[in-house]
Amino acid sequence: MSYVVLLNKSKGTNFGQLDFADSFMSRFMGLMFRKDPEKGLILKLPSSRSRRGSAIHMFFMRFPLDIIFLDYDKKVVDMVSIKPWNTYTPKSPAKYVIELKEGSINNYKLEIGDEMDFTLDCV
């Protein structure tokens, strides 16, 4: 798994280093079975422009998360706080899904339309 630094270009906020999942297995595992959500995760979804292809599940999760959905231009198209054992389909298709510690949406004052960016930190 690679690591990236996540930035909110609209607000000038640095989220720090997150894991980056772009393979089937790394996306499938996500944050499942982890005990601590301190380090977030960005999932790069396969090419799909449907909402259903952007859906997430919280099966086998031990803690609630804030989920941010980004489109191909890395703009926020939907956000949700979700508890374990639930599923969610975003209101708009997403290319990237960001999984963060619960409360991050409010703490970072995220809004629909915010422009995000991430850069490779190390491999």
Beta bridge partners of 13: 8
Confidence band (pLDDT; 50, 70, 90) for 19? confident
CATH number of the domain that residue 10 is part of:
2.60.120.1140
Q: What is the DSSP letter of 63?
A: S
3-class DSSP assignment, residue 27: helix
Q: Rounded to a whole number, what is the largest CA-CA distance in the chain?
A: 34
Measured at the CA of 26, the angle between CA 89 and CA 75, to 5 degrees, comes to: 45
Domain count, the chain: 1
Residue 36 has pLDDT above 80, yes or no: no
- What number is the average pLDDT over the span 56-64? 85
Is 54 buried (19+), middle (13-18) or exposed (0-12) by CB count in 10 A? buried
Please give the residue range of the domain that contains residue 112. 2-122
